[in-house]
A and B are shown apart, each in its own frame.
Chain A
């Protein structure tokens, strides 16, 4: 219980610092925050200055401004987008589900294929299949996701016409179909790390005494792998899968841009290009929070799943 409490307190503390960095970043910009927020000097009209000052409470001390912004965020008020002239929360609400479905899809592919390949490599350790799996996944990890994504579009969408060139589809099955290439792109570049950890963790188990004992008692190899090796190996595997899935949320920035998907990742790129700072802040905060929630949940769950683990943590 104290462990859970300390973990949650640590998460809240880091979150406060991270959100303050995101908020206060505009003060690092050269010049007055008002000129920075408005950006284009042609828009520096008295009305515009007054409205931006009001939105960010710029007449008050900085900590008070942060308090206004942070308490607004807690109640779902991210301010007004400068570019779209609508509440940032409305923009997020429209785009978050698309990004989350993409990450969820990629997470399923990553978990099934990554752990699967790791198991095969561990069972066949030292053989051709092992070398091939380690080699191919390492090679895939050396390809930037935007390059892999474009190659996929060229081959599977334009040349073979199996998948749409861009977009996230409408809903239901159509969305799953349209998100296949982006999800594969996100997952493939991260396969290496998951399959490597699975392989390593299992190989350590293979040489442990309880597996020797199981083997000596004449159990069949598949049951040994399932009930003895895998059971003991789960800890590091779950930790790594969670960490990789959490970082995929940031990985959507490049992948959504490649595939023209209107999620939060491409929203961030648009917001920077159009100098829409309220949106930049909101998306960054969303991604940091999502990342921390995933890693903290795993920290809290691991000791429950595997009582031997008390101290291993993944979140900051």
Chain B
């Protein structure tokens, strides 16, 4: 009896702990599709002002109500999803290109490149939180592009440090010597051998970083340093809706705020599983 029951019990148990993972994946897929087709799905334009419909509650015309300018919240949320989600992807992509190049170079060459990387990382870690990013924004001005580049610069040394440690252990593997014996140059070995092998753990690390990157970028937009009006990026929506709170109009600020939190939670819940698998491969 037990031999029949055990596998089933075990399977059910595992699917039980999978529930959070699959809900998160489903939610993220739904949000991604909604963001991709937002212009088709949104019932209104993101910036169509209607002074006759200011701060309306949820109704059939306005699913989530309207904001202080009578703009449809549901439409703004849908249309802003693209910018909110693509921003972190862009900044991590930029940071990864920079970080992997520097990290592999530091591991491969050692010497002064390695020393400079270590010093730069030290100085970056002396700036807690977003302060380095804020300095870059103070110098180059506000805007989504500056915010993304500044955050990418802040993440690049972190990724470089991680890549360096991965690359150092990768370089002790025998295939490197085999490539050398075949007469391949350092550049070719790095591009063909080392970097592809680093990708699974790196992607796992990036998945872990994504939620944090999204929160940082949304925080910058909330402070007015990232996305600028009339964008409906979610952090900016929270900022624009905040004055309504005193009048008891919570939805314009809490809806985009909750959307940010839900995406970050879903990414983290789903990401832990994905990252575990990818890191185990590395």
Contacts and interface: CB of A to CB of B under 8 A. Distances in A.
A269 interface: yes
Interface string B232-258: 000100100010011010100110011
B254 A25 contact: no
A154 B128 contact: no
Interface in A146-186: 146-147, 150-151, 153-154, 158-159, 165
A25 B139 contact: yes
B149 to A, nearest CB: 12
A267 to B, nearest CB: 12
Contacts of A316: 122-123, 125-126
B237 to A, nearest CB: 11
Most buried by B among A17, A147, A150, A257: A147
A126 to B, nearest CB: 14
Contacts of B215: 144
Contacts of A269: 223-224
Contacts, number: 124
B93 interface: no
Interface stretch (B38-46, B161-169, B261-269): B261-269
A165 B215 CA distance: 24
A144 B219 contact: yes
Given A18-B127, A165-B246, A277-B138, A154 B254 contact: yes
Contacts of B205: none
Interface string A253-269: 11001100000000011
B258 A138 contact: no
A133 B246 CA distance: 33
B99 interface: no
Contact of A292 (B126, B136, B258, B268): B126
A258 B258 CA distance: 16
B211 interface: yes
B140 interface: yes
A154 B223 contact: no
Given A14-B122, A316-B122, A147 B238 contact: yes
B135 A150 contact: no
Interface in B118-142: 119, 122-123, 125-131, 134-140, 142
A287 interface: yes
Given A139-B265, A146-B222, A272 B137 contact: yes
Contacts of A203: none
Nearest to B266: A142
A138 B139 CA distance: 35
A250 interface: yes
Given A142-B265, A269-B223, A247 B250 contact: no
B54 to A, nearest CB: 18
Contacts of B135: 21-22, 25, 280, 284
Nearest to B221: A146
B225 interface: yes
Given A147-B258, A158-B246, A272-B225, A287 B128 contact: yes
Contact of B261 (A147, A158, A258): A147
Interface residues of A, number: 49
A251 interface: yes
B206 interface: no
A142 B264 contact: yes
B268 A138 contact: yes
A165 to B, nearest CB: 6
A129 interface: no
B77 interface: no
Most buried by B among A29, A154, A247: A154
Contacts of A15: 126
B218 interface: yes
A291 interface: yes
B91 interface: no
A249 interface: yes
Contacts of A14: 122-123, 126
Contact of B131 (A17, A26, A29, A250): A250
Given A150-B242, A287-B131, A21 B123 contact: yes
A90 interface: no
Contact of A247 (B129, B211, B268): B129
Nearest to A260: B242
B260 interface: yes
B276 to A, nearest CB: 15
Contacts of A165: 245-246
A288 B223 contact: no
For the complex of A and B, the 3 pairs showing the least CB-CB separation, nearest first, are A250-B129, A147-B257, A250-B128
20 contacts: A15-B126, A21-B135, A22-B135, A25-B135, A28-B139, A142-B264, A144-B222, A145-B219, A150-B242, A154-B245, A257-B222, A257-B223, A272-B142, A284-B127, A284-B134, A288-B126, A288-B131, A291-B128, A292-B126, A316-B126
Given A154-B250, A249-B128, 8 more contacts: A14-B126, A25-B138, A142-B268, A146-B222, A150-B257, A151-B254, A280-B135, A287-B131
Interface of A: 14-15, 17-18, 21-22, 25-26, 28-30, 36, 138-139, 142-147, 150-151, 153-154, 158-159, 165, 246-247, 249-251, 253-254, 257-258, 268-269, 271-273, 277, 280, 284, 287-288, 291-292, 316
Interface of B: 119, 122-123, 125-131, 134-140, 142, 211, 215, 218-219, 222-225, 235, 238, 242, 245-246, 248, 250, 253-254, 257-258, 260-261, 264-265, 268
